Amino acid sequence: MRLVFLGDIVGRSGREAVIAHLPRLKATLDPDLIVANGENAAGGFGITDKIAQDFYQAGVDCLTTGNHVWDQKELVGTIDRDPRLLRPLNFPDGTPGRGATLLGIRGGRKVLVANVMARLFMDALDDPFAAIDRVLRSYRLGGGVDAILIDFHGEATSEKMAMGHFLDGRVSGVVGTHSHVPTADAQILPGGTAYQSDAGMCGDYDSVIGMKKESSVARFVRKLPTERMTPADKEATVCGIFLETDDRSGLARRIDPIRLGGRLAQAMPSLAVPNLQGPGVQTTSG
């Protein structure tokens, strides 16, 4: 199975870049499922139902979020109607929306996508490790679920790495979001789970994590509040990962970075690169 995960989409520049590059991603990688983190898609803060629908129409199958999920207040009243738009799983009971969803894909196969938020340097939420563990008691690779993909939204790489090892062998992939910077540690862990500390953002990298650099720098230099931060609006780089799983086990066969457009060095996986080593060994990008 082939899965594409795209990191935090920031503002109009990020939205437009994702929509523009999706046809190439679909034509080149023929993914069974495309997941994207949309929590910064609406002006850098949150997401709206309208924006979510635009992504679905363009070919995104599922959207995850994070600490900015409620920045657009309208979402509180609409998220329950959209099973493909997730908020972090470890919000308290009674919070609108859902943190995991089971999606049917071609061939009658099923993929579980879950969105969990870390706690170090983040808002205080319920234990993310216990929350995802409870979900996995009901969904098991090879037990009616063909792949399981986790978006772990957090600040500390240590907490993200700990989650990767906690879930190693139980899920297809654990991919971090939130820092907006793609990490170089894409790997397959010993138990067969693909891992990357952060997928990076889909946004303008001539910025400070997607926001206009002038106002962001001023906040650090003067230690004074400035005008509301707004997303940088030059050409965005679409960042994410390509994950291929073993059809029998649901574990990872390869994980490769995706970087398209904008300022960063480009990286586009190729299906022409064979993977002959089997689960547990990472291949390289073409």
Give the tokens for residue 4.
């594409």
pLDDT of residue 111: 98
What's the pLDDT score for residue 225? 72
Q: Residue 273: what pLDDT?
A: 62
pLDDT in tens, 117-160: 999 999 889 999 999 999 999 999 988 899 999 999 999 999 99
Arithmetic mean of pLDDT, 219-231: 83
User: Considering the chain, what percentage of its residues have pLDDT values greater than 70?
Assistant: 95
The domain limits of the chain are: 2-204+235-260
Catalytic residue of the set 21, 68, 153, 178: 68
Q: What integer is the mean pLDDT of 66-90?
A: 96
pLDDT tens per residue, range 92-108: 999 999 999 999 999 99
Three-state DSSP state, 120: coil
Counting every residue written for the chain, the total comes to 286
pLDDT above 60 for 280: no
68 catalytic? Reply is yes
The pLDDT value recorded for residue 223 is 80
> Position of tokens 């340097």?
121
d(C-alpha 66, C-alpha 40), whole Å: 9
Burial class (CB in 10 A: 0-12, 13-18, 19+), 30: exposed
The predicted pLDDT at position 282 comes to 36
By CB neighbour count within 10 A (0-12 exposed, 13-18 middle, 19+ buried), where does 260 fall?
Answer: buried
Q: β-pairing, 252-260 with 187-188?
A: unpaired
Q: Is it the case that residue 284 has pLDDT exceeding 50?
A: no
CA 141 remoteness from chain centre: 20
Fold of 2-204+235-260: Purple Acid Phosphatase; chain A, domain 2 (3.60.21)
- For residue 32, the model assigns a pLDDT of 98
